[in-house]
Structure 1
Amino acid sequence: MKKIYRTIVLLSATAVLGTSCSDWLNVYPSDQIKEEFLFETGNGYRAALNGVYRKMASWSIYGSNLKWGLIDAWGQVYDMQLSTIQHGGQAMVKIEGLDFKHYELVSATDQMWNDSWNVVANCNELAQQAEQADSTLFYGGELERKMILGEAIGLRAYLQFDLLRVYAPSLAMNPEKRTFIPYVNEYPSYVNNRQTVSYCLEQVIKDLKRAQDLLTEVDKDVRWNWRFNEETNDEKKFLSARGYRLNYYAITAQLARVYLYANMPDEAYEQAAILIEQNSNFEALVGNAGLKAIKNGNVKMFDDIIFALYSPTDQVEWDRLINHTSDTAEGSSEKDKFLGITAEIAERRYGDDLETDWRICYQMEKKNIDDYCTMKYYQQPESFAYSEDNNQIVPMLRMSEVYYIAAEAIYQQDLETAKKYLSHVKKTRGVITDLENVTKDNFMNVLVNDAQREFFGEGQTFFMFKRLMRTMKGREEVQATEENMVLPLPTSESEF
């Protein structure tokens, strides 16, 4: 594989020292500078870390492609016949149909590949610098140094895990000793040999465990009900808003996710149980209180989110372009174009819960009489009670997924506890279902169906079906094969 390049950027000083809300999250890269100057001050480290998060929130990575865009179209989440072919829609149409060599799709996936490795390289440089940095450089001293180091290591693992899930087969597909992508943990990295799936998973787990150790002390006293708010207007601002950062609890949830993908259910359950025991910290999955909130506009159910990226303007603008540019006047004979599902797909996925499940009643809206359009990224007016949070949050890890992981990890040994975990999620989504007659033989069918509703527009559906080697069902059925579920490497990498 070719040398992975990166550019370290300096953000303006307001990125960490400004007085207005979310300044440090909201500033884009401005001036390129030499890295030796960047890492001379604590502000330079802060700017470098902020640049990583901002790049991850860009369209090519989690702003679209690995969130509600390409990856969900690939997972047959939508019926792409309802969508426009403008504003990225054409690439989504092509990946839904498995046309991996179409030029518009190749252009999009090549950029995703290049930008993702650029972020990994930035993480590696930042981690190496933070590893040896003098703690007196930082306003928060040794605790802040550990925070930056832990997040950099965790983020490189987070992103490379998703690249592995896109460009390599799952363990259920028997990849054996074949090699697919590298795992890169140093900078500069001139020779990056492709590795086996098992090797990459081992490295992801190793990095996440190191990050978890580093962040344990950092996040032990965080006020989690304020995790998406800045608590101060001075230099401590950088140490707040931990929900927008890969915090200790997010690392723990990601470890559970990775362990499950690596077919290590006992380890996955151990990590999930840590979070379930701490659920009161998040006030997540809170039943009727959640119903009141979602009725008042909390369509992303952000109380359930452990980690999110910050996208104050781009996300809602992209939603407007792909979902609302073609909105027609009431009574028009023309059909709207949008990302969504038909009544037939909705009936299949929601069944008897079609009129009660909050995830379709409040997270979607009716269009073209019988079709459903996602509302998760729709820009709410400022007068709405939850507009500030809903308009800028890109969900990355949820407590609901943690409960799914725990349930799947133990259902073979303890079906009743597994059913309690699944029932808890369903109940807090408005679905009161008696699981008494659910057996070990059909438990996973019930769980997968619920997770498919939960993950709509959040990029996890495809990965779930790939891990389990289950047929994906949207407008068409897509068989769970390596041919259908592994994206070819960019042409530029094929000779290496």
Structure 2
Amino acid sequence: MIMLTIILIACDDFIDRSPLDQLNQETFFTDVATTQTAVIGAYRTLTSSSLYGQAFIVIPEFAAGHMRHISNFPEYVEYQNFNIRIDNPWALNIWTASYETINSCNNIIAYAPNINEYSMNENLQNMVKEAHFIRALTYFNLVRAWGDVPLITNPTTPQTTSAEIRVPRDAASSVCNQIVADLEFASDLPNNNAGSKGRANGMSVKSLLAKVHLYMGNMQEAADLASQVLQSGEFTLLENYSDIWTVENSAESIFELQFDEQVPNTFVQNANPASRQEFFASDAASLLFDEEDARREFTIREAEDNSGNINLYVGKYRTFNPPTQNVPIIRLAEVYLIYAEAVSFSNLQEGITALAAIRTRAGLATDFTGSQDDLIALIQQERRKELMFEFETWFDHCRTGAADDILEVPNSDRYLFPIPQLELDLNENLTQNPGY
């Protein structure tokens, strides 16, 4: 009876507590420490298996034809066949996880500036700028995958009404304008912010902004921003391509998502010949490389399975025991390629020189005598090989229209993924993408 009384008292005490998800977000933000906790939490949402922890690596790479699954699960193969069901679970997972990240950022942006010391505390101000960067990165991925998406810039709470969150899709151009505004707001972050490449810094903001302008077709802005990063002296192309992946936070890395034993990298566990062996590199991916290309051997890893068969693995993700390998989100080689493409519209020789930096490291010839269109096509080929398994090729080819011929996409409607059916069921103001 005594024990029962203690349990009942303890239960009453527990029941009287407010659930964590009903805590007032505004009262959470009281000082630097609480804000830093929220910012680290926002970065951690990106490591989810629904985002850069697996899905946002796997899905674009299946669409680009670079990857295969051991069992040919339909939810993955659908992306490779460009016949995606509206109830595909990975579309829903990426969509939902992205908006969770955005809401985390919206809370920081809305409430941290109300802290008394905010106007005089540069550290607090920088953390709000980091939230703008994370939100911009997440919306950039959403708009590339789905086109028009709901643009939500205010935090939602348990008290938010259904009408407030059941919003229609905004035009992709409006979302891109918000992405640019977020990045411009964050552009004066220190280049060595918080002493970590796992935190947004001035150069990662400019690199992402250059990429956004490239996608928007603003070539002069993209070239100018990329040039600032290249001329900063903050980063260096590594001599050995493999070091980008075997050395964490290397001199080439501009922004790198951090994984550790508390935050393991799910994809590494599932794509390794000595681990679970679920995801493999495709034969088509291997054939893209010239024989003399120094990137192939590391990018496409050949290993023997238990039956003595040689399989092709995703070579860039090797640290599986424990699965703590970081994921570079932005690195210097991509900035070279952004600059090469963007500057080619105004200065062909500058584009050739920038491309040569990447081809030299790969052990490839750097002479070029073709037209502007030829050069841009070559840059796109280099982007595919340099950034293979870095979730870029699919979006690149859709941006340039090359997906039709190179990836054999049946029609341009398939450049965008379907809005998840569950979201359409919950929100009558959403509309489906054409063709689904």
Counterpart for residue 256 of structure 2: 308
The partner residue of 1:350 within 273, 289, 297 is: 289
Counterpart position of 1:108: 90
What secondary structure does 1:378 align onto? coil
Of 360-369 and 458-467, more deviation after overlay is shown by 360-369
Structure 1's 408 and 98: CA in aligned 2 closer, same or farther, altered over 3 A? same
Amino acid at match of 2:254: I
Q: Which residue of 2 aligns with 1:84?
A: 70
Runs (5+) with no aligned partner, structure 2: 1-18, 430-436
For these two proteins, the number of residue pairs brought into alignment is: 395
Q: Which one of 153, 178, 181 corresponds to residue 149 of structure 2? A: 181
User: Helix, strand or coil for the counterpart of 1:489?
Assistant: coil
Are 1:434 and 2:366 matched, yes or no?
A: yes
Does the 8 Å contact 2:206/2:229 carry over to 1? yes
Change (3 A) 1:472 1:451: farther
Distance, in Å, in 2 between the alignment partners of 1:337 and 1:38 is 41
1:126-165 Cα distance to aligned partner (Å, 9 max, x none): 111122322279xxx6111111110111211111111011
Instruction: State whether structure 2 residue 432 is matched by structure 1 residue 478.
Output: no
Say if 1:471 and 1:478, in contact at 8 Å, map to a contact too.
yes
Q: What is aligned with 1:363?
A: 299
- Which of 146, 149, 167 lines up with 2:128 in the alignment? 149
RMSD value, Cα: 2.9
Deviations 1:444-479 (A, max 9, x none): 2211111111111111111100110113678xx422
- CA–CA distance in structure 2, aligned partners of residues 120 and 437 of structure 1: 46
Contact 1:324 1:337 in 2 (8 A): no
Structure 1 match to 2:81: 97
User: Hey, what's the Cα distance between the residues in 1 that align with 2:77 and 2:83?
Assistant: 9
CA contact (8 A) 1:469 1:480 kept: no
Does residue 70 (structure 1) correspond to residue 59 (structure 2)? The answer is yes
For 1:414 and 1:322, locate their aligned partners in 2 and report how far apart those are by CA, in whole Å.
Answer: 41
Question: How far apart, CA to CA, are the structure 2 residues paired with 1:122 and 1:301?
Answer: 25
Q: Greater CA radius of gyration, 1 or 2?
A: 2
Match of 1:247 in 2: 201
Provide the rounded CA distance (Å) in 1 between the counterparts of 2:379 and 2:202.
Answer: 27
The Cα of 1:371 is off from its aligned counterpart by 5.1
Q: For 1:490, give the aligned amino acid.
A: P
Q: TM-score, normalised by structure 1?
A: 0.73
Task: Indicate how the Cα distance of structure 1 residues 31 and 395 shifts in structure 2: closer, same or farther if over 3 A, else same.
Answer: farther
The SS at the match of 1:441 is: helix
**Shift of the alpha carbon at 1:39?**
0.9
Hey, what's the Cα distance between the residues in 1 that align with 2:95 and 2:241? 39
In structure 2, the partner of 1:277 is: 231
Query: Residue 372 of structure 1 is aligned with which of 312, 328, 335?
Result: 312
Letter in 1 for 2:64: G
**Partner amino acid, structure 2, of 1:240:** G
Q: Distance in 2 between matches of 1:159 and 1:321?
A: 24
Match of 1:324? Answer: 273
Partner of 1:451: 383
Q: For 1:293-343, what per-residue CA distance to the aligned partner results, in whole angstroms no more than 9, with x for missing partners?
A: 47xx7378843221011122455553233443788xxxxxxxx7642021x
Mapped partners of 1:362, 1:324: distance in 2: 14
Q: Distance in 1 between the 2:118 and 2:127 partners?
A: 14
Aligned mate of 1:489, from 410, 415, 419: 419
Match of 1:3 in 2: none
Secondary structure class of the residue paired with 2:55: coil
Counterpart for residue 402 of structure 1: 335
For 2:128, what is the secondary structure of its paired residue?
helix
Name which of 214, 219, 222 aligns with 1:265.
Answer: 219
Distance 1:473 1:453 in 2: 17
1:227-263 CA distances to partner (integer Å, 9 max, x unpaired)?
8xxxxxxxxxxx331x101211111001000001011
User: Of the candidates 158, 173, 177, which is equivalent to residue 198 of structure 1?
Assistant: 173
Distance 1:301 1:245 in 2: 11
Q: CA deviation at 1:372?
A: 2.9
Identity of aligned residues (%): 20
Matches within 5 A, 1:419-430: 419-428=352-361, 430=362
CA contact (8 A) 1:403 1:425 kept: yes
How far apart in 2 are the matches of 1:126 and 1:326?
38
SS for the counterpart of 1:59 is coil
The superposition leaves residues 176-226 of structure 1 with CA deviations (integer Å, 9 ceiling, x where unpaired) of xxxx3122212237253322122211111111111114x2xxx15x3xxxx
SS of 1:339's partner is: strand
**Within 1, Cα distance between the matches of 2:349 and 2:48?**
42
Deviations 1:63-114, CA, capped at 9 Å, x for gaps: 1122x21121112222x2xx2138xx552222212231175xx222212211
